[in-house]
Amino acid sequence: EGMELSRLCVSRRVMVLVNPQSGRGQAMSLYTGSVLSMLTEANISHTLITTEHQNHARELVRNADLSQWSAIVILSGDGLLFEVVVCVINGLMEREDWDAAIRTPLGILPGGSGNALAASVHHYTQAGPALGEDLLLSCCFLLCKGLVCPLDIVSVHLSSGPRLFSFLSLAWGFVADVDIESEKFRQVGAMRFLVGTLLRLASLRTYQGRLAFLPARDDSNSPSISSSTVSHPRSSFRPSVQCTSHMQGQINNQHECTSENTHHDNFLLPKNDSKDHRPADNLLNPIGEPVATDWTMEKEQDFVLVLATCHSHLAEELMVSPDARPDDGQLHLLYVTAGISRPALLRLFLAMEKGTHLTCECPHLRYRRVRALRLEPITKPGVITVDGEQVEYGPIQAQVHKGYGRIICG
């Protein structure tokens, strides 16, 4: 199934999108502080673009000629990345260059308050834990190395509207509520999840619904946190070109780091063979019809949370599925059923800092690796999030497409 990677054209530059408002508003100083000097030293020619408002990145990327860029790198939180992914993957679904667009390597540098993907990408290097500035340096180093790996993309169907594509998570109940409610604590940075979790614990509630899923082929049905080493087919986006501009001083909205376009190794993407590569959601039956017979159906019950993630981390200090890999073709489904006590739930969240919650033997916690799932909430109202963004509340189903996108990681 996987994608064959080839070296990308070396003559292009990297688009670096910075959201100056993300996190505690420090992204620009992170850029001028360490990112710029590392990229310059690594001879990565790039164009800095600061986003001026919500959806700015979406507009920029929508109108960009993606063949001009070797990668799109986001210095912000997962929110800005979501905008770009929405655009690259969702917005271009109708475009003829969809196949090339979805292969645009995405890079993430943690500058926001929610840096799940950055924390995950760092985790995949198997280096020890890193937070804040250390995490930034690690991700920036990976960008300088420029290795590109396949990235799972999740196709998400709500009860109305076209399908969306997700790269991170799908949440209902406790986690979704915390994610949305803690937005207002962005000023405290990554701590916002801890603050939000404590507040939510105080008003703990349950959510009635139905959950069904298609187990992955190697779903063991039991928690395991063996640290499997996975080798990815890799390529490099690195343009090996000289950065000649003087970067000091004036950083404008759009700042060019000019380069001599020296062409080495000019491998282009495989030619489009005019086949339609858009993924078909062959595992999903229409919402409203029963799921296929090989699915597992949980009985209708009360949940505290349902969470499906593509990646190891949900935030810098929340390692929800330590075994996840960017292209394992699996959604890591965690759910907590009603009846769990507040202290037990708090213990689970605290254990997630190190990713040891799966060994807590908490009878209310289930962990499954799945290829597809369907969730039908009965409790109303409620919050469902996809990649941390609130979506229409109601039945939702999703299927993973292994390695459909690309990400810069170690």
Look at residue 186 and give the partner it binds from ligand ADP, Mg ion, none, a contact being a CB closer than 5 to 8 Å depending on partner kind: ligand ADP
Is the N-terminal amide bond of 150 cis, ω within 30° of 0? no
Q: Which does 19 bind (CB under 5 to 8 A by kind): ligand ADP, Mg ion, none?
A: ligand ADP
User: Is residue 149 involved in binding Mg ion (CB under 5 A)?
Assistant: no
Residue 287: CA atoms inside 13 Å, Cβ hemisphere, count?
21
Query: Among 127, 154, 90, 97, which residue's Cα sits nearest to residue 283?
Result: 154
DSSP E strand boundaries for 105-221: 106-110, 147-158, 164-166, 169-173, 207-215
**Angle between helical axes of 192-202 and 342-351 (0-180°, round to 10):** 160
Please state the closest distance from residue 323 (CB atom) to ligand ADP, in A: 25
Q: 328 or 387, CB closer to Mg ion?
A: 328
Considering the complex, state which of residue 186 and residue 406 has its C-beta at the smaller distance from ligand ADP. Answer: 186
Q: Report how far residue 156's alpha carbon sits from residue 400's, in angstroms, rounded to the nearest whole number.
A: 9
Please say whether the beta carbons of 187 and 317 come within 8 A.
no
Interatomic CA distance for residues 300 and 136, integer angstroms: 43
In the complex, what is the shortest distance from the CB of residue 355 to ligand ADP, in angstroms, rounded to a whole number?
21
The first and second tokens of residue 12, run together, are 């292009």
328 makes contact with Mg ion (CB under 5 A): yes
User: Minimal distance in Å, beta carbon 1 to Mg ion?
Assistant: 13
The option from Mg ion, ligand ADP, none interacting with 77 (CB < 5 to 8 A, set by class) reads: ligand ADP
Annotated active-site residue in 65, 78, 177, 218: 78
Contact yes or no for 329/403 (Cβ under 8 A): yes
Q: How many residues bind Mg ion (CB under 5 A)?
A: 3
Q: 46: closest CA among 257, 253, 233?
A: 257
- Taking residue 250's Cβ as centre, other Cβ atoms within 10 Å add up to 7
Least distance to Mg ion from the beta carbon of 200, Å? Answer: 26
78 labelled catalytic = yes
Q: How far is the CB of 50 from ligand ADP (least distance, A)?
A: 7
49/320 with CB nearer ligand ADP: 49
- Using CB under 5 A as the binding rule, whether residue 310 contacts Mg ion is answered as yes
Write out the residues near ligand ADP by the rule CB under 6 A: 19-23, 51-54, 56, 76-80, 83, 112-114, 186
Sign of the torsion formed by the C-alpha atoms of 93, 61, 308 and 287: negative
* Shorter beta-carbon distance to Mg ion: residue 79 or 150: 150
| 187 Cβ contact list (under 8 Å, min separation 6) | 24
Residue 259's binding partner out of Mg ion, ligand ADP, none, with CB under 5 to 8 Å set by partner kind:
none
Matching residue, tokens 């063996």: 226
Nearest distance, CB of residue 367 and Mg ion, angstroms: 14
Nearer CB in complex with Mg ion: 149/175: 149
Strands 13-18 and 46-50: parallel
Question: Which of ligand ADP, Mg ion, none sits in contact with 41, Cβ below 5 to 8 A by type?
Answer: none
Nearest to 235 by CA among 73, 70, 53: 70
**Comparison of 126 and 253: residue with beta carbon closer to ligand ADP:** 253
Q: Which is nearer to ligand ADP, 71 or 190 (CB)?
A: 190
Query: At a CB cut-off of 8 Å and minimum separation 6, what does 184 contact?
Result: none
Least gap, CB of 183 to ligand ADP (angstroms): 7
Give CA–CA dist 238/148, Å, rounded: 9
Q: Is 316 in the site for Mg ion (CB under 5 A)?
A: no
Q: How far apart are CA 210 and CA 202, in angstroms?
A: 25
Report the nearest approach of Mg ion to the CB of residue 372 (Å): 13
Binding partner selected for residue 114 from ligand ADP, Mg ion, none, CB under the kind-specific 5 to 8 Å limit: ligand ADP
Contact partner at residue 152 from Mg ion, ligand ADP, none, CB < 5 to 8 Å by partner kind: Mg ion
310 binds, among ligand ADP, Mg ion, none (CB under 5 to 8 A by kind): Mg ion
Indicate the residue among 20 and 279 with the shorter CB distance to ligand ADP. Answer: 20
Among 99, 152, 177, 323, binds Mg ion (CB under 5 A): 152
What the block records as the tokens of 17 is 């999108």
Paired tokens of 326? 């960017």
| 26 closest CA partner among 109, 120, 139, 143 | 109
Question: What is the set of active-site residues?
Answer: 78
Contact positions vs Mg ion (CB under 5 A): 152, 310, 328
